[in-house]
Amino acid sequence: MAGNNNRSIGAVNKKGQKIVEPEYLFFEAPRQEFFMTGSEIVKEAIRRASVDISVAYPITPQSEAAALVGELWTEGYVGDYFRGENEFAVMSQCAGASFGGARVFTTTSGPGTLRAFENFPMWSGARLPILINVMVRGVNSPLNIQPDTLEMAFLLDTGMLIWHAETAQELFDMLLKGFIVAEQPDVHLPIAVCIDGFFVSHTKEMVSLTGTDICLPHYDPYRSPVPCMDMEAPPMRMMRDPFVMKSNYISYATHASWQQEVRGAVERARKYSVRYLGGMIEEENSDADILIVSSGTAVAQGREAVRLLAEEGIKVGIVRIKSIRPFPTEELRQATKNARLIFVPEFNVSGWMAREIKSTIDRNHRVIAGPHVAGGMTMPPEIIAEEIKKVMHLRKKELVHG
Amino acid sequence: MGKNNLKICSDLEDIMPPEYRELVASATYGKENRGWKDIGSAKELIEEHSLCAGCPEAIAFRYVLASLPNPEDTVMVGSTGCTSLVFPHVAVHNIHSLFGNQNAVASGLKRALKLRFPDREKDVVVLAGDGATVDIGLDMTLQAWFRQEKFTTICFDNELYANTGGQESGLTQKGFVMKMAPQGKQFNKVRMPEIARESGCAYVAILTVSKPNLVERVLKNAVLIARTIGPTYIQIYTPCILEIGKQSMEGLQEMRDAEGPNDRFAFREFITDEAKAFLADMDEKKKAAAAAKIGTAAPAGVK
Amino acid sequence: MRKRINIRISGLGGQGAVTSAHVLATAVYKEGRHAISNPFFGAEKRMAPAESYVRISDQKIYDRGEIVYPDIIMLYHPQVYTMGKCYTMPFYSGLKKGGLVIINTDHPLLNEEDIQRLEELEARLLYIDATQIAVDIAGTELASNMAMVGALVGATKIVAMDSLDKALQDRFGKKYVASGGTATLDEAIKKKFAKKEQLLAKNLQTIQKGYEISSAWVETFKTPMLV
């Protein structure tokens, strides 16, 4: 490519980082331990991600991370960076950069996600492999800045890939792996790596990071299944994305088949997600009668509840969903097949994750949607343990009377 | 991109559509001093216009595309509306993403191309209607100018929302009765050229397409200034003959009637001193180059 | 010591509740033990309620977010009590039996009823004038969070002073990026000291003073601390 240095594996970039195989960076490269916040982790992941362009906009809780990426630009690790005027514009600026063949990273939260919303299905439809780190936050009204996963429910049908990290460690790994999965030629879709605002973004915890001396290979826009808009590749009469506004059968068929293809691409991401995330779900004692199934830090709270209940002799297993799109349908059916009760703790008011699970597994009366907390309220493990005991007791009574 | 990239594999030549073969054989990519006069003698970069018969926007599109200084290295960004019906027929890479976000998309695109091709000029040109530019996308139009993003914004001003059936827009004239303005528009036509000047555009022009020479000059100025100095804005009257009740043949007259010295589309140009100096310098270099050419050509002739 | 220590810090925006939680957690991490710290605040605002939480354990910690059942509560400002600038009311809501309460104040603050409730919970209560200590030693009340951390460690010996020193080096000894308000305060405190080493030294001395006071206070009890 014109004007660029050697971008092949083994080459060294202008910051002295050696470009390595993604698999090496993910699974083999030596790592060192640090104690950091989630925001700092974003900076460290992007430092190693060969990102061309990042666009930022302030909104709590993602502002710190977005500002730190700006520092990376100043340090020379990111090609270009600026503050957009609002999230709708920011996501469009990301789209423009991606259309032009750049690897693009951005972040947003809650109301920002909603303001930007029209862009997300457009990104998918235009097959732009942008990585967005969504640091979830309650959406208005009333105004709220605290963690709440409701906005993820809105993202489910945008055609984007959606992953949900539980910890800062997983955030680091998912940010790097996300680019590689999203950019596969047979996938080539945007990806939302979600974390729970504050609970991960502002929490300081132990993480293990690869060295700063290695980085991911660059994005190659010419491996894209759709042409890059740089006027480099004939044929010349090429529009992204050619909608058909005529009212005839061809126009309906065009839109429908294109949209089906986007869903097909989401499905094709499955094999990469399994490979890179080490499976779409994580299981712990999933042979137990009682399971806690959820994603994000709701699972972290569940793990503590498992400890509390173990002290009382109640055995509870955990199934954690890492990839929400594509959804681990078969994995969940298998992991829950012996469970009698399935609890789905969630940080939102609607219980969308419970809905997803109920629509996936059989005998879905086993699914108990809850406990829920919303608006940033914390979910003490004691509450989850209490809920489990209450339902156990109730179902026992039902059995007696039934 | 060099024009040389545009070659058809000889084995496939016979199955390529004739329009495509024409595009390769006789389009004006890479031609120096290309302009509106090529229309009719060379392959145009616009295949068919797919607009209403007699729509002035169609001829405006042709003049703009014929006048781009480097179409072989130009990417265009459009928006939703009548203009988006034409773009699928345009033979430079172009993007449609959403309604109103054209200047945001162009900002990201221009930066990506600058990053990927640091030693080459890749022009980005936005072309959208008045609804997209001045109403729904106004924030992004202005903010791109504030940030001094280096691309050209062209607004095809037909003074209403045409594609949705003739609703009032910010560029509709005061008092005009339209859909969604049943009692007539209550406020003045937004003074976009002045706003563009105050928002940091290095070059601004407002005109109609009645004079192709003028369109060509303005367009070239705008693209070249955007390349080196800063954002540029062109507002072109492309009346919607359908919605103002004109016949197919009456578009040209409508434009002429709107560009008298005291009319709203009287030709106006704002240009910063820096941009002025740049144009003067470019003219001088061109003259010098032409003189040098004559100078070297003469001895060859003697020989 | 308990298997898990949950510390709830209630302060006001600008007092360094978040910073001191991060310093404390970092110190624990430096000892190879497990810690997690996180802040909770509303709109970034001086003098508005700001809480932060530290969880300390010898086993892996998953729990995060607001601490509902704390072992230790620290109030960084009398207004947390007098004006109810607290996320929970009363401020000791959820306090586990045999807990510890440390309050930054220059006079006995709690009313009879609250003292009685704390007694019922078998909690120990320490008033310490952390602001005065900070002004005396560091010359700025911005260091009162350090005096509070010192008092906590003196009373509980939850982490070694040496580890706190290392954590301070991490936080103030190198370039650190914080949110807008915190960054401004970082600048303000850096201006107070000619050199970075001086800032670190004064912070550590402030911690030490708090440590000495609470260590002496703990000695006055016949039974050991429950946390």
pLDDT given for residue A380 in this prediction:
93
Q: Any bridge partners for residue A105, and if so which?
A: A54, A131
Where do the domains of chain B lie, and which CATH numbers do they carry? Answer: 34-271 (3.40.50.970)
The reply to whether residue A382 touches residue C69, judged by beta carbons under 8 angstroms, is yes
pLDDT given for residue A4 in this prediction:
47
- Residue ranges covered by each domain of chain C: 4-216
**A67 min Cα distance to partner chain B (Å):** 18
SS3 B46: strand
Task: Name the A residues in 78-107 with CB < 8 Å from any B CB.
Answer: 79-80, 82, 84-86, 88-90, 92-102, 104
Contact A343, A317 (CB under 8 A): no
Please report the beta strands in C157-206, taking only residues with DSSP state E, as ranges in sequence order.
none
Global ipTM: 0.94
The reply to whether residue C36 touches residue A204, judged by beta carbons under 8 angstroms, is yes
Contact A90, A57 (CB under 8 A): yes
Percent over 70 (pLDDT), chain A: 94
pLDDT given for residue B24 in this prediction:
84
Locate the chain B residue with the closest alpha carbon to A99. B109
pLDDT given for residue A237 in this prediction:
65
pLDDT given for residue B301 in this prediction:
44
Percent over 90 (pLDDT), chain B: 76
Partners of B140 on chain A (C-beta within 8 Å) are 85, 89, 92
Task: Name the A residues in 53-112 with CB < 8 Å from any C CB.
Answer: 60, 63-64, 67-68, 71
**Alpha-carbon torsion angle A175, A181, A182, A185, nearest 10:** 150
Contact A283, A334 (CB under 8 A): no
Region C4-216: CATH code: 3.40.920.10
What does the alpha-carbon distance between residue C66 and residue A347 come to, in Å, rounded to a whole number? 13
SS3 B103: helix
Q: Between chain A and chain B, how many beta carbons pairs sit less than 8 Å apart? A: 170
pLDDT given for residue A5 in this prediction:
56
Whether pLDDT at B22 is above 70: yes
Q: How far apart are the first and last CA of chain A?
A: 72
pLDDT-derived band at A285 (thresholds 50, 70, 90) equals very high
The reply to whether residue B88 touches residue A242, judged by beta carbons under 8 angstroms, is yes
**B248 min Cα distance to partner chain A (Å):** 22
pLDDT given for residue B296 in this prediction:
62
Which segment of B141-145, B157-161, C222-226 scores lowest on mean pLDDT? C222-226
What does the alpha-carbon distance between residue C58 and residue A392 come to, in Å, rounded to a whole number? 31
Q: In the predicted model, what is the mean pLDDT of residues A266-280? A: 98
* Residue-wise burial string across C191-204, b where 16 or more C-beta atoms lie within 10 A, e elsewhere: eebeeeeebbebbb
Locate the chain C residue with the closest alpha carbon to A38. C38
Whether pLDDT at B297 is above 80: no
All CATH 3.40.50.920 domain ranges of chain A, comma separated, are 283-401
**Facing A1 at nearest CB: one of B74, B116, B143:** B116
What is the CA angle A344-C54-A297, rounded to 5? Answer: 20
Within 10 angstroms of residue A365's Cβ, the number of other Cβ atoms is: 8
pLDDT given for residue A399 in this prediction:
59
Kindly give, in sequence order, each residue whose CB lies less than 8 Å from that of residue A253, ignoring residues fewer than 6 positions away: none
SS3 C61: coil
pLDDT given for residue A235 in this prediction:
53
- Which CATH class name applies to A283-401? alpha beta
**B39 min Cα distance to partner chain A (Å):** 18
Whether pLDDT at B2 is above 70: no
pLDDT given for residue A241 in this prediction:
57
Residue A15, judged by CB atoms within 10 A of its CB (0-12, 13-18, 19+), counts as middle
pLDDT in tens, A22-64: 999 999 999 999 999 999 999 999 999 999 999 999 999 999 9
Q: In the predicted model, what is the mean pLDDT of residues A230-235? A: 76
Q: In the predicted model, what is the mean pLDDT of residues A302-316? A: 97
Partners of C63 on chain A (C-beta within 8 Å) are 300-301, 304, 380-381
Q: Which structure tokens are listed for B167?
A: 């609703």
pLDDT given for residue A3 in this prediction:
39
Contact C23, C171 (CB under 8 A): yes
The reply to whether residue B74 touches residue A231, judged by beta carbons under 8 angstroms, is yes
Whose CA is closest to A42, among A269, A266, A197?
A: A197
What does the alpha-carbon distance between residue C38 and residue C52 come to, in Å, rounded to a whole number? 6
The reply to whether residue A53 touches residue B1, judged by beta carbons under 8 angstroms, is no
Partners of C45 on chain A (C-beta within 8 Å) are none
Q: Do chains B and C touch (3 or more CB pairs under 8 A)?
A: no
pLDDT given for residue B303 in this prediction:
41
What is the SS3 string spanning B50-99? CCCCCCHHHHHHHHHHHHCCCHHHEEEECCCCCHHHHHHHECCCEECCCC
Q: Which structure tokens are listed for C59?
A: 């086993």
When the pLDDT of each residue in chain A is averaged and rounded to a whole number, the result is 93
When the pLDDT of each residue in chain B is averaged and rounded to a whole number, the result is 92
Tell me how far the alpha carbon of residue B205 is from its chain's centroid.
11
Q: Any bridge partners for residue A134, and if so which?
A: A108, A194
C85 touches chain A (CB under 8 A): no
The reply to whether residue C63 touches residue A301, judged by beta carbons under 8 angstroms, is yes
pLDDT given for residue C39 in this prediction:
85
With contact defined as 3+ CB pairs under 8 Å, the chains touching C are A
Q: Between chain A and chain C, how many beta carbons pairs sit less than 8 Å apart? A: 71
pTM for the model stands at: 0.93
pLDDT-derived band at A80 (thresholds 50, 70, 90) equals very high
Within 10 angstroms of residue A130's Cβ, the number of other Cβ atoms is: 29
Partners of A145 on chain C (C-beta within 8 Å) are 42-43
Q: In the predicted model, what is the mean pLDDT of residues B94-119? A: 96
pLDDT in tens, C162-174: 999 999 888 887 6
In the block, which residue shows the tokens 């106004």? B138
What does the alpha-carbon distance between residue C156 and residue B109 come to, in Å, rounded to a whole number? 58
Q: In the predicted model, what is the mean pLDDT of residues A353-364? A: 97
What is the CA angle B79-B83-B84, rounded to 5? Answer: 55
All CATH 3.40.50.970 domain ranges of chain A, comma separated, are 18-223
Angle, in degrees to the nearest 10, between helices A63-75 and A38-47:
30
pLDDT given for residue B111 in this prediction:
98
pLDDT given for residue C80 in this prediction:
94
The reply to whether residue A93 touches residue B107, judged by beta carbons under 8 angstroms, is yes
pLDDT given for residue A359 in this prediction:
97
> Looking at residue A210, what DSSP letter applies?
E
The reply to whether residue A229 touches residue B108, judged by beta carbons under 8 angstroms, is no
C66 touches chain A (CB under 8 A): yes
pLDDT-derived band at A240 (thresholds 50, 70, 90) equals low
Region A18-223: CATH code: 3.40.50.970
Please report the beta strands in B87-240, taking only residues with DSSP state E, as ranges in sequence order.
94-95, 123-129, 152-157, 203-208, 232-237
The reply to whether residue A300 touches residue C34, judged by beta carbons under 8 angstroms, is no
The reply to whether residue B104 touches residue A236, judged by beta carbons under 8 angstroms, is no
Whether pLDDT at C213 is above 60: yes
**Facing A229 at nearest CB: one of B7, B27, B109:** B109
Partners of B29 on chain A (C-beta within 8 Å) are 236
The amino acid at residue A120 is F
**Facing B112 at nearest CB: one of A92, A101, A245:** A101
In the block, which residue shows the tokens 């979830």? A136
Q: In the predicted model, what is the mean pLDDT of residues A196-212? A: 95
The reply to whether residue A239 touches residue B95, judged by beta carbons under 8 angstroms, is yes
SS3 A104: strand
**Facing A145 at nearest CB: one of C35, C42, C64:** C42
pLDDT given for residue C13 in this prediction:
87
Q: Is the N-terminal amide bond of A147 cis, ω within 30° of 0?
A: no
